[in-house]
Amino acid sequence: MTLSLHRLLLAFATLIAAGFLAAGVRAQVTERPVTGFPHAVVYALPGDQPRPVVVILAGADGGDQGGRRFGPILAEMGYAAVSLPYYSPDWGQFGPPPQFPDLPGSFIDIRVDQIGDLRDALRGLDGVDVERFGLFGGSKGSEFALIAASRYDWIDAVVAYTPTDLVWEGWGLEMIEAEGTRSSFSFGGQALPFMPYRGFVDGLLAGPGVADLRAIHENGRADHPDREAAARIPVEAYPGALMLIAGERDAQWNSARQARNVVAARAAAGLPTEALIYPDAGHDLIGGDGDLREDPRSGGTPQANAEARLDAWPRVMAFLDRTLRPGST
Protein backbone atom coordinates (compact mmCIF):
# COMPACT_ATOMS: atom_id res chain seq x y z
CA MET A 1 0.00 0.00 0.00
CA THR A 2 1.37 3.44 -0.85
CA LEU A 3 0.96 6.65 1.08
CA SER A 4 -1.72 8.98 -0.16
CA LEU A 5 -0.71 11.16 -3.07
CA HIS A 6 -2.08 14.21 -1.28
CA ARG A 7 0.21 13.74 1.69
CA LEU A 8 3.23 12.99 -0.44
CA LEU A 9 2.67 16.18 -2.42
CA LEU A 10 2.17 18.13 0.80
CA ALA A 11 5.46 16.82 2.20
CA PHE A 12 7.23 17.56 -1.09
CA ALA A 13 5.91 21.12 -1.06
CA THR A 14 7.13 21.51 2.51
CA LEU A 15 10.63 20.42 1.53
CA ILE A 16 10.68 22.93 -1.30
CA ALA A 17 9.47 25.70 1.00
CA ALA A 18 12.24 24.82 3.44
CA GLY A 19 14.82 25.18 0.71
CA PHE A 20 16.00 21.57 0.90
CA LEU A 21 15.59 20.95 -2.82
CA ALA A 22 16.48 24.36 -4.19
CA ALA A 23 19.13 23.84 -6.88
CA GLY A 24 20.18 20.69 -5.01
CA VAL A 25 22.13 22.82 -2.54
CA ARG A 26 21.44 23.12 1.18
CA ALA A 27 22.06 26.40 2.95
CA GLN A 28 25.18 26.56 5.10
CA VAL A 29 24.26 26.27 8.76
CA THR A 30 26.59 27.54 11.47
CA GLU A 31 27.09 25.79 14.80
CA ARG A 32 28.02 27.62 18.01
CA PRO A 33 28.42 26.34 21.57
CA VAL A 34 26.45 27.90 24.41
CA THR A 35 28.58 29.16 27.29
CA GLY A 36 27.77 27.38 30.52
CA PHE A 37 25.81 24.56 28.85
CA PRO A 38 28.02 21.57 28.02
CA HIS A 39 27.25 20.10 24.58
CA ALA A 40 24.51 22.65 23.80
CA VAL A 41 24.72 24.01 20.25
CA VAL A 42 23.00 26.89 18.43
CA TYR A 43 22.28 26.06 14.79
CA ALA A 44 21.53 29.07 12.57
CA LEU A 45 22.04 30.50 9.12
CA PRO A 46 25.00 32.86 8.73
CA GLY A 47 24.50 36.53 9.49
CA ASP A 48 23.45 38.66 12.43
CA GLN A 49 19.74 38.92 11.59
CA PRO A 50 17.87 38.20 14.85
CA ARG A 51 16.17 34.82 14.62
CA PRO A 52 13.53 33.31 16.91
CA VAL A 53 14.80 30.66 19.33
CA VAL A 54 13.53 27.07 19.17
CA VAL A 55 14.98 24.83 21.88
CA ILE A 56 15.05 21.11 21.03
CA LEU A 57 14.36 18.82 24.01
CA ALA A 58 15.01 15.14 23.39
CA GLY A 59 13.14 12.28 25.01
CA ALA A 60 14.26 9.26 27.02
CA ASP A 61 17.09 8.41 24.62
CA GLY A 62 18.83 11.59 25.80
CA GLY A 63 22.06 12.90 24.34
CA ASP A 64 22.15 15.18 21.33
CA GLN A 65 20.76 12.93 18.60
CA GLY A 66 17.50 14.89 18.38
CA GLY A 67 19.35 18.18 18.31
CA ARG A 68 21.70 17.03 15.56
CA ARG A 69 18.76 15.75 13.55
CA PHE A 70 16.41 18.72 13.81
CA GLY A 71 18.75 21.60 14.59
CA PRO A 72 19.99 22.08 11.00
CA ILE A 73 16.46 21.62 9.62
CA LEU A 74 14.99 24.30 11.88
CA ALA A 75 17.98 26.55 11.24
CA GLU A 76 17.43 26.37 7.48
CA MET A 77 13.86 27.44 8.07
CA GLY A 78 15.03 30.64 9.75
CA TYR A 79 15.28 29.80 13.46
CA ALA A 80 18.10 29.87 15.98
CA ALA A 81 17.68 26.21 16.84
CA VAL A 82 19.24 25.21 20.16
CA SER A 83 20.12 21.60 20.87
CA LEU A 84 20.00 21.25 24.67
CA PRO A 85 21.26 17.85 25.86
CA TYR A 86 20.13 17.55 29.48
CA TYR A 87 20.38 13.80 30.14
CA SER A 88 22.72 11.07 28.93
CA PRO A 89 21.68 7.56 30.01
CA ASP A 90 24.21 5.76 32.18
CA TRP A 91 23.29 2.20 33.13
CA GLY A 92 26.79 1.31 34.27
CA GLN A 93 27.83 -2.24 33.37
CA PHE A 94 24.30 -2.98 32.16
CA GLY A 95 24.41 -0.64 29.16
CA PRO A 96 26.69 1.17 26.76
CA PRO A 97 28.81 4.03 28.11
CA PRO A 98 27.01 7.37 28.26
CA GLN A 99 27.46 9.73 25.34
CA PHE A 100 28.10 12.63 27.74
CA PRO A 101 29.42 11.43 31.13
CA ASP A 102 29.24 14.97 32.55
CA LEU A 103 25.43 15.13 32.15
CA PRO A 104 22.91 13.46 34.49
CA GLY A 105 22.97 9.72 33.79
CA SER A 106 19.68 9.05 35.59
CA PHE A 107 16.38 10.68 34.71
CA ILE A 108 15.91 12.03 38.22
CA ASP A 109 15.24 15.64 39.28
CA ILE A 110 16.17 17.05 35.87
CA ARG A 111 16.32 20.85 36.30
CA VAL A 112 13.49 22.49 34.37
CA ASP A 113 14.70 25.94 35.45
CA GLN A 114 17.80 25.50 33.32
CA ILE A 115 15.57 26.84 30.52
CA GLY A 116 15.62 30.22 32.25
CA ASP A 117 19.40 30.04 32.57
CA LEU A 118 19.66 29.06 28.91
CA ARG A 119 17.66 32.10 27.84
CA ASP A 120 20.02 34.31 29.80
CA ALA A 121 23.03 32.63 28.18
CA LEU A 122 21.58 33.14 24.70
CA ARG A 123 20.75 36.80 25.28
CA GLY A 124 23.07 39.05 23.31
CA LEU A 125 24.34 36.38 20.92
CA ASP A 126 24.44 37.60 17.33
CA GLY A 127 21.52 36.29 15.31
CA VAL A 128 19.51 35.17 18.36
CA ASP A 129 16.26 36.82 19.46
CA VAL A 130 15.29 35.54 22.92
CA GLU A 131 12.14 37.69 22.87
CA ARG A 132 10.68 35.09 20.49
CA PHE A 133 11.16 31.81 22.30
CA GLY A 134 9.80 28.36 21.46
CA LEU A 135 10.24 24.80 22.70
CA PHE A 136 10.21 21.68 20.52
CA GLY A 137 10.03 18.46 22.55
CA GLY A 138 9.14 14.82 22.18
CA SER A 139 8.02 12.30 24.80
CA LYS A 140 9.95 13.08 28.03
CA GLY A 141 11.12 16.22 26.21
CA SER A 142 7.47 17.25 25.90
CA GLU A 143 7.05 16.70 29.65
CA PHE A 144 10.04 19.02 30.17
CA ALA A 145 8.61 21.57 27.72
CA LEU A 146 5.14 21.68 29.25
CA ILE A 147 6.48 22.04 32.79
CA ALA A 148 8.72 24.90 31.64
CA ALA A 149 5.89 26.63 29.78
CA SER A 150 3.66 26.45 32.86
CA ARG A 151 6.29 28.41 34.79
CA TYR A 152 7.72 30.92 32.31
CA ASP A 153 5.29 33.33 30.69
CA TRP A 154 7.94 34.49 28.19
CA ILE A 155 7.74 31.19 26.31
CA ASP A 156 5.77 31.99 23.16
CA ALA A 157 5.22 28.61 21.49
CA VAL A 158 5.49 24.94 22.39
CA VAL A 159 5.39 21.92 20.09
CA ALA A 160 4.90 18.78 22.20
CA TYR A 161 5.04 15.43 20.43
CA THR A 162 3.50 12.46 22.29
CA PRO A 163 2.92 14.61 25.38
CA THR A 164 1.92 13.96 28.97
CA ASP A 165 -0.32 15.88 31.34
CA LEU A 166 1.56 14.65 34.43
CA VAL A 167 5.04 14.72 35.91
CA TRP A 168 6.16 11.10 36.18
CA GLU A 169 8.46 9.11 38.42
CA GLY A 170 12.16 9.20 37.61
CA TRP A 171 14.43 6.30 36.76
CA GLY A 172 18.05 5.21 36.92
CA LEU A 173 20.31 2.60 38.49
CA GLU A 174 19.67 3.96 41.98
CA MET A 175 15.92 3.37 41.53
CA ILE A 176 16.23 -0.43 41.41
CA GLU A 177 16.10 -0.47 45.21
CA ALA A 178 13.98 2.68 45.60
CA GLU A 179 11.11 2.37 43.14
CA GLY A 180 8.44 5.06 43.47
CA THR A 181 10.53 7.52 45.48
CA ARG A 182 12.00 10.04 43.01
CA SER A 183 10.66 12.51 40.47
CA SER A 184 11.73 12.96 36.87
CA PHE A 185 11.96 16.75 37.22
CA SER A 186 12.76 19.52 39.65
CA PHE A 187 12.32 23.29 39.71
CA GLY A 188 14.10 25.81 41.91
CA GLY A 189 15.98 23.06 43.71
CA GLN A 190 12.78 21.20 44.67
CA ALA A 191 11.68 17.87 43.24
CA LEU A 192 8.28 18.15 41.56
CA PRO A 193 5.36 16.02 42.76
CA PHE A 194 5.06 13.00 40.48
CA MET A 195 2.96 10.02 39.49
CA PRO A 196 4.59 6.67 40.34
CA TYR A 197 4.75 3.74 37.94
CA ARG A 198 3.65 0.20 38.61
CA GLY A 199 6.17 -2.47 37.68
CA PHE A 200 8.92 -0.32 36.18
CA VAL A 201 11.78 -2.23 37.85
CA ASP A 202 10.25 -5.59 36.91
CA GLY A 203 9.92 -4.37 33.35
CA LEU A 204 13.50 -3.13 33.37
CA LEU A 205 14.78 -6.48 34.60
CA ALA A 206 12.74 -8.28 31.95
CA GLY A 207 14.93 -6.76 29.26
CA PRO A 208 14.51 -4.50 26.21
CA GLY A 209 11.31 -4.94 24.24
CA VAL A 210 9.61 -7.01 26.95
CA ALA A 211 8.21 -4.37 29.28
CA ASP A 212 4.79 -2.93 28.51
CA LEU A 213 5.66 0.71 29.15
CA ARG A 214 2.16 1.95 28.39
CA ALA A 215 0.71 -0.39 31.03
CA ILE A 216 3.42 0.60 33.51
CA HIS A 217 2.27 4.22 33.20
CA GLU A 218 -1.47 3.54 33.07
CA ASN A 219 -1.41 1.08 35.99
CA GLY A 220 0.62 3.50 38.09
CA ARG A 221 -1.93 6.19 37.40
CA ALA A 222 -4.78 3.85 38.32
CA ASP A 223 -3.03 2.91 41.57
CA HIS A 224 -2.58 6.51 42.75
CA PRO A 225 -5.63 8.69 41.98
CA ASP A 226 -4.83 10.65 45.15
CA ARG A 227 -1.56 11.85 43.59
CA GLU A 228 -2.96 12.99 40.27
CA ALA A 229 -3.83 16.57 41.29
CA ALA A 230 -0.33 17.25 42.65
CA ALA A 231 1.43 15.56 39.72
CA ARG A 232 -0.62 17.35 37.05
CA ILE A 233 1.27 19.89 34.95
CA PRO A 234 -0.63 23.21 35.32
CA VAL A 235 -0.85 23.83 31.58
CA GLU A 236 -3.58 26.44 32.11
CA ALA A 237 -0.85 28.68 33.60
CA TYR A 238 0.79 28.84 30.17
CA PRO A 239 -0.79 31.63 28.09
CA GLY A 240 1.18 30.98 24.91
CA ALA A 241 0.56 28.92 21.79
CA LEU A 242 0.58 25.13 22.12
CA MET A 243 0.51 22.31 19.58
CA LEU A 244 0.22 18.64 20.58
CA ILE A 245 0.80 15.61 18.35
CA ALA A 246 -0.16 12.13 19.60
CA GLY A 247 -1.09 8.62 18.52
CA GLU A 248 -3.92 6.54 19.98
CA ARG A 249 -1.75 3.39 19.75
CA ASP A 250 1.32 4.87 21.42
CA ALA A 251 3.16 1.94 23.09
CA GLN A 252 5.29 4.13 25.37
CA TRP A 253 2.47 5.85 27.24
CA ASN A 254 -1.10 6.92 26.52
CA SER A 255 -0.16 10.16 24.79
CA ALA A 256 -3.58 10.54 23.14
CA ARG A 257 -5.40 10.46 26.50
CA GLN A 258 -2.79 12.74 28.00
CA ALA A 259 -3.07 15.21 25.10
CA ARG A 260 -6.85 15.35 25.51
CA ASN A 261 -6.40 16.07 29.22
CA VAL A 262 -4.10 18.99 28.37
CA VAL A 263 -6.61 20.34 25.85
CA ALA A 264 -9.45 20.09 28.39
CA ALA A 265 -7.52 21.83 31.17
CA ARG A 266 -6.60 24.72 28.90
CA ALA A 267 -10.08 24.96 27.41
CA ALA A 268 -11.53 25.30 30.91
CA ALA A 269 -9.26 28.33 31.33
CA GLY A 270 -10.29 29.77 27.96
CA LEU A 271 -6.99 28.89 26.28
CA PRO A 272 -6.87 27.32 22.80
CA THR A 273 -4.70 24.31 21.97
CA GLU A 274 -4.00 22.78 18.59
CA ALA A 275 -4.06 18.99 18.88
CA LEU A 276 -3.37 16.41 16.18
CA ILE A 277 -4.35 12.94 17.39
CA TYR A 278 -3.92 10.06 14.95
CA PRO A 279 -6.08 6.97 15.65
CA ASP A 280 -3.74 4.29 14.23
CA ALA A 281 -0.38 5.90 14.99
CA GLY A 282 2.08 5.23 17.80
CA HIS A 283 5.03 7.06 19.34
CA ASP A 284 7.28 7.52 16.29
CA LEU A 285 5.74 10.76 15.04
CA ILE A 286 8.51 13.38 14.92
CA GLY A 287 9.79 14.61 11.57
CA GLY A 288 8.50 14.98 8.06
CA ASP A 289 9.61 11.73 6.45
CA GLY A 290 7.42 8.97 5.09
CA ASP A 291 9.74 6.07 5.93
CA LEU A 292 8.02 2.83 6.86
CA ARG A 293 9.90 1.94 10.04
CA GLU A 294 9.36 -1.21 12.08
CA ASP A 295 9.81 -0.23 15.71
CA PRO A 296 8.05 -2.32 18.35
CA ARG A 297 8.74 0.39 20.94
CA SER A 298 6.54 2.84 19.04
CA GLY A 299 3.20 1.12 18.62
CA GLY A 300 0.90 1.86 15.72
CA THR A 301 1.65 0.60 12.25
CA PRO A 302 4.60 1.75 10.13
CA GLN A 303 2.09 2.98 7.56
CA ALA A 304 0.04 4.97 10.07
CA ASN A 305 3.13 6.45 11.71
CA ALA A 306 4.54 7.52 8.34
CA GLU A 307 1.24 9.09 7.29
CA ALA A 308 0.97 10.90 10.62
CA ARG A 309 4.47 12.34 10.27
CA LEU A 310 3.77 13.53 6.74
CA ASP A 311 0.48 15.08 7.80
CA ALA A 312 1.73 16.72 11.00
CA TRP A 313 5.08 18.14 9.91
CA PRO A 314 3.81 20.92 7.59
CA ARG A 315 1.28 21.88 10.26
CA VAL A 316 4.00 22.05 12.91
CA MET A 317 6.17 24.23 10.68
CA ALA A 318 3.21 26.50 9.93
CA PHE A 319 2.45 26.73 13.66
CA LEU A 320 6.01 27.79 14.49
CA ASP A 321 6.03 30.28 11.65
CA ARG A 322 2.71 31.78 12.73
CA THR A 323 3.61 32.03 16.43
CA LEU A 324 7.30 32.94 16.30
CA ARG A 325 7.46 34.85 13.01
CA PRO A 326 4.05 36.50 12.59
CA GLY A 327 3.68 38.30 9.29
CA SER A 328 6.55 36.40 7.66
CA THR A 329 4.31 34.45 5.29
Query: Does residue 167 contact residue 185 with C-beta atoms inside 8 Å?
Result: yes
The model's pTM is 0.91
Which 8-state DSSP code applies to residue 35? T
What does the CA dihedral 164, 326, 11, 51 come to, rounded to 10 degrees? -80
- pLDDT tens for the chain, 329 residues long, are 444 434 433 443 343 333 333 333 356 999 999 999 999 999 999 999 999 999 999 999 999 999 999 999 999 999 999 999 999 999 998 889 999 999 999 999 999 999 999 999 999 899 999 999 999 999 999 999 999 999 999 999 999 999 999 999 999 988 888 899 999 999 999 999 999 999 988 887 776 667 899 999 999 999 999 999 999 999 999 999 999 999 999 999 999 999 999 999 999 999 999 999 999 999 999 999 999 998 888 999 999 999 999 999 999 999 999 999 977 65
Q: How far apart are CA 300 and CA 254, in angstroms?
A: 12
pLDDT at 21 (0 to 100): 34
The pLDDT value recorded for residue 105 is: 97
Helix (H, G, I), strand (E, B) or coil at 292: coil
pLDDT confidence of residue 205: 75
Compute the distance between CA of residue 167 and CA of residue 287 in angstroms, rounded to an integer: 25
Which residues contact residue 245 at a Cβ distance below 8 angstroms, ignoring those fewer than 6 apart?
A: 159, 160, 161, 162, 259, 275, 276, 277, 278, 285, 286, 308, 312, 316
Residues 204, 174: Cα–Cα separation, whole Å:
13
Sign of the Cα torsion 277, 66, 110, 180 reads positive
Q: What's the rounded Cα separation, in Å, for the pair 132 and 128?
A: 9
Residue 15 confidence (pLDDT): 37
pLDDT computed for residue 124 by the predictor: 86
